[in-house]
Amino acid sequence: MVNGEKPSQDNNGRKKVLEVKGLKTHFFTGEGCVCAVDGVDFYVKEKEVFGLVGESGCGKSVTSLSILRLVDVPGKIVAGEVCFDGKNLLDLTETEMVKMRGEKISMVFQQPQPSLNPVFTVGDQIAEVFRVHCGMDKGKAWERAVELLKMVGIPDPETKAHAYPHEMSGGQAQRVMIAMGLALNPKLLIADEPSTALDVTIQAQILQLMRNLVEKFGTSVILITHDLGVIAEMADRVAVMYAGQIVESADIYELFDHPRHPYTQGLIGSIPVLGRVKERLEVIPGTVPELVNLPPGCRFAPRCKAREQYNLDICTQVDPELEEITPEHPVRCWLYKDHGDHKAPLSVS
């Protein structure tokens, strides 16, 4: 409890570690305002893996950078709240944010090699985390770094700590990133496509490592990826993003059993699943819209087969809100909601 406020809880009684409300991050470019993140709401509970899934350009990476306030000019967080640890992160000073990053919230990026400093050894880079945040002396910090390398499964950690990033493979470098991310036992780890750049057998190792460590330390994770297979394996709950908005969110089993938004349905149907060969994959016609000068209405409307099927006009006129249609399963879609003269063509018991 902070300042006498009631800790926010979800229906299961587990505390919310992070709550994002109405987040908007816009990029003010020469061509106009690119509304990369345009009204995003979600929360992450203690000890859960929350998946944020979507294709390129949907705004998932910018969302995570916004949480950590790492968005650079011409981007700017223009609205919303990011509630973490009883505070709104968007109100903190930069000094206070620096303390948050690494200690309370940390991040693992997609490409490990460009994210590591090429002129320092990996041991030094991990040790730096302890020197800066805990004021440890060099010797002790180095010891902790070697311990961490061992924990993430780097063979011969005492020697490998003296290696430079370019002397390591992609998989090893990613393990170093994970070690740095978990070094200070943060409450929340944001993993942005942590295994996408890796070969499939290495990806399996990294995901297994993350699962084990997260269970061991009780960290909450926001897992950002376009890979529905990774989400199905790792996440407890998922939000699907499209063109800067969340279009659907649910528990992992519920999402795959009952995907409600036409985009989610199309996404799931268009993936070849190992062991289940279909004659033809489902197709979502068309492409993702430009985020500048968006037309009114639902952003998915031009590509939506359901809109055609039910002959809905409202989709190109009014933007639907994200609303729960079954408990804990919000969807942003006119198929399930009435509005004025429009009657929802589908109902869910």
- Least separation, in Å, of the C-beta of 70 and other proteins? 24
**In the complex with other proteins, which residue's Cβ is closer, 165 or 171?**
171
How many other C-beta atoms lie within 10 A of the C-beta of residue 42? 21
Burial of 194 (0-12, 13-18, 19+ CB in 10 A): buried
User: CA nearest 184: which of 129, 138, 235?
Assistant: 129
Q: Is residue 212 involved in binding other proteins (CB under 8 A)?
A: no
171 binds other proteins (CB under 8 A): yes
Cβ proximity to other proteins, 127 vs 267, nearer residue: 267
In this structure, how many other beta carbons lie within 10 angstroms of the beta carbon of residue 207? Answer: 18
Q: Select the residue interacting with other proteins from 10, 19, 46, 55 (CB under 8 A).
A: 55
Q: Output 82 or 168, the one with its CB closest to other proteins.
A: 168
Whole-Å CA distances, 349 to 46, 225, 325, 326, 346: 30, 31, 9, 8, 10
Does position 196 bind other proteins by CB under 8 A?
Answer: no
The first and second tokens of residue 207, run together, are 């995901």
Nearer to other proteins, 132 or 202 (CB): 202
Q: Where do we find the tokens 């740095």?
A: 180
Cα distances (angstroms) measured from residue 59 to each of 55, 184, 198, 287: 9, 28, 22, 15
Total number of residues that touch other proteins (CB under 8 A): 45
**Binder among 95, 278, 296, 340 for other proteins (CB under 8 A):** 278
Residue selected from 52, 189, 221, 231 as contacting other proteins according to rule CB under 8 A = 231
Chain residues binding other proteins by CB under 8 A are: 55-56, 155, 169, 171-172, 199-205, 207-208, 226-233, 252-253, 256, 266-268, 270-275, 277-278, 280-285, 287-288
